Amino acid sequence: MKMRKNRPTADGGNTMKIQTARLLLRDYRPEDLDAYFGLHSQAQVWEQSQEKAISQKGEASKLLGELISHQISSDVGYRVLCLKDGTYIGEAGILQVEKDCSRCRLGCNLLPEYWGEGYAAEITQALLHLAFAMLKLERAEAYALSDNARACRAMEKAGLMKEGVLRHYHREGKNFRDVCLYATIRQDWKE
């Protein structure tokens, strides 16, 4: 795995790249709007998440602009996840860092045609490397809806352990869904 951090550029240029055997994780750019909207507008993706699909490209443009502004100054946030040939397959990243507690939350969202190929586990392992080796954090966490078996398997394959089920943690209208908490700590992490 290769990691490269460049100095931030005012025009939103890349500040970070992570390469694995099959994948490249890089910063979002304005020209990624169509791919970003394509992912974020697919209801099938967001049925397996605690987020909702968006329906307007203008909303996607606003959200992407905020994401790009934030990633210039931070390791936190979603980045573009693509195959080595540049094909966009989704997004992944460290979503939240709590420095006082030395922990972070990881996330990954893939287009459905790339589910079940091992990409989520592969990028999660790379994010764990970033969290522990580069950011020097003590703990990394991830959440999955309890009925999202693929996401649960991917986290376990990446080396996270299921620590418990948060019952009725996610609300959708009048219904509640359980969420599984997965995590690992620095001493248990295997690079």
Q: Which of 38-52, 66-80, 177-191 has the lowest mean pLDDT?
A: 66-80
What is the distance between the alpha carbons of residues 5 and 7, in angstroms, rounded to a whole number? 7
Domains of the chain: 2-140 (3.40.630.30)
Model confidence pLDDT, tens digit, residues 83-111: 889 999 999 999 889 999 999 999 999 99
Question: Are the beta carbons of 53 and 46 closer than 8 angstroms?
Answer: yes
pTM: 0.85
Q: Is the pLDDT of residue 6 over 60?
A: no
Q: What's the one-letter identity of residue 6?
A: N
Kind of pairing between the strands at 139-145 and 103-110: parallel
Q: Is the pLDDT of residue 14 over 50?
A: no
Nearest to 95 by CA among 73, 119, 72, 78: 78
